[in-house]
């Protein structure tokens, strides 16, 4: 007759142990995304995975509990065994992702053995395992970008080469940084790629040792080649989700938006920060949409990523922009239109600090 092996009770013990590891690992990852990253999309996916797997094995719940043998488990932790240390948060995510993936693989393999309590469930475990690989990449990427995104506050200078006129962008950027600028974005609609790459590399070399973020506007290829901290995209540029597939996982993506709806969409599509404008009338752009402080307040209540206000901001109104919820203020003419760039930057930075 057919063999009684594998013994149902032993298989249930194995299933119970792997479900426990799976649930614990998913909970750690869910709490990282929910409480540390405030990432609703990833939290939702992890929660859905946990609930689906629990629901799938719901009918076995009592049997699994009855089969548990903690005391007799030869792999149970002993008093003298040191717990492993995680080097940092990405390492913690990697370790718990591995637990999830390994548990799913064990459950998947035993689902392929006929006559076990798991028979016929291999497909759902395999699907969950591939989902877990993707979630690990997304979470580690978010953590690596989180430190950079946290520095997106204070004064953000858009180094628009039209507004620079004949001045050297590196000299102007250096003066702005001395004044208190925390982020430099290079925006150039005229130069060829060779000249633009050379400029981007010089700015990156200036910013990096000073702890200032360097962001490239529009050009994904230049951002990559220059090793920028981030890429800034407009509404008509490459969608953030597509850029994310190409860029290194530690490179920020910023997105220009003109309403709370656009900002929410940009965040959902993978933007690490959003710029909202124009807050006030501006001379830096011929065509612009005036959104005002009320839209800034509403957007602040709807997005969790850093929010940069832009458009017509100067030393007379920067404080009300910060009071309305902006993490940072992006300026062009308020700094580039001044005779003394360092002094103009310092005046703005000082006003922002007083809030």
Tell me the chain's radius of gyration from C-alpha atoms.
26
DSSP secondary structure letter of residue 212? -
User: Of the listed 13, 145, 148, 187, which one is catalytic?
Assistant: 187
Cα–Cα dist 23/100, whole Å = 8
Tell me, yes or no, if 3 is annotated catalytic: no
Q: Which H/E stretch holds residue 298?
A: helix 292-302
Q: How far is CA 86 from the centre of its chain?
A: 21
Question: What tokens does 38 get?
Answer: 């405030």
**What are φ and ψ of residue 247, in 5° steps?**
-75, 155
| Coil, strand or helix at 213 | strand
User: Of the listed 285, 297, 333, 343, which one is catalytic?
Assistant: 285
Question: What tokens does 15 get?
Answer: 């299933």
Q: Provide the 10 A C-beta neighbour count for residue 187.
A: 19
Nearest to 137 by CA among 211, 247, 48: 247
Nearest to 290 by CA among 274, 309, 270, 273: 309
User: Of the listed 43, 97, 103, 256, which one is catalytic?
Assistant: 256
Tell me, yes or no, if 145 is annotated catalytic: no
Tell me, yes or no, if 256 is annotated catalytic: yes
For every residue of 107-145, DSSP letters joined together read HHHHHTSTTSTTTT-HHHHHHHHHHHHHHHHHHHHHHHH
Cα–Cα dist 325/87, whole Å = 34
Which residue has tokens 């469930």?
Answer: 121
Task: Work out the end-to-end distance of the chain between its first and last CA atoms, rounded to an integer number of angstroms.
Answer: 81
Q: Is cis: bond before 209, omega within 30 of 0?
A: no
How many degrees, rounded to 5, is the angle at CA 109 between CA 104 and CA 113? 140
Q: Which residues are catalytic, by number?
A: 187, 256, 285
């Amino acid at each position: 007759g057919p063999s009684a092996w594998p013994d149902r009770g032993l298989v249930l013990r194995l299933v119970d142990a792997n479900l426990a590891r799976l649930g614990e690992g998913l909970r750690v990852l869910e709490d990282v995304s929910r409480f540390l990253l405030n990432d609703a999309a990833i939290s939702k996916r992890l929660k859905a995975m946990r609930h689906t797997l629990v629901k799938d094995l719901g009918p076995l719940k009592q049997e699994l509990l009855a089969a548990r043998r903690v005391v007799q488990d030869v792999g149970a932790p002993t008093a003298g065994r040191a717990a492993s240390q995680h080097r940092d948060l990405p390492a913690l995510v990697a370790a718990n992702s591995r637990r999830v993936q390994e548990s799913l693989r064990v459950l998947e393999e035993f689902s392929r053995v006929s006559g076990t309590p798991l028979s016929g469930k291999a497909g759902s475990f395999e699907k969950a395992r591939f989902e877990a690989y993707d979630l690990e990449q997304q979470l580690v990427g978010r953590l690596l970008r989180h430190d950079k995104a946290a520095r997106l506050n204070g004064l953000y200078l858009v180094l628009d080469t039209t507004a620079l006129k004949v001045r050297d962008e590196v000299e102007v950027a250096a003066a702005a940084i001395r004044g208190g600028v925390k982020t430099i974005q290079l925006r150039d609609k005229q130069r060829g790629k060779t000249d633009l790459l050379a400029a981007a590399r010089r700015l990156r070399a200036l910013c990096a040792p000073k702890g200032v973020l360097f962001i490239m506007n529009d050009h994904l290829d230049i951002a990559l080649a220059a090793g920028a901290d981030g890429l800034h995209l407009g509404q008509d540029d490459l969608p953030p989700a597509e850029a994310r597939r190409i860029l290194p996982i530690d490179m920020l993506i910023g997105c220009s938006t003109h309403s709370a709806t656009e900002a929410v969409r940009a965040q959902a599509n993978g933007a690490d920060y959003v710029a909202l404008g124009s807050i006030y009338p501006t001379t830096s752009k011929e065509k612009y949409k005036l959104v005002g402080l009320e839209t800034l307040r509403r957007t602040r209540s709807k997005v969790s990523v850093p929010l940069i206000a832009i458009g017509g901001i100067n030393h007379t109104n920067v404080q009300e922009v910060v009071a309305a919820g902006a993490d940072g203020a992006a300026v062009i003419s308020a700094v580039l239109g001044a005779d003394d760039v360092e002094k103009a930057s310092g005046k703005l930075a000082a006003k922002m600090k007083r809030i």
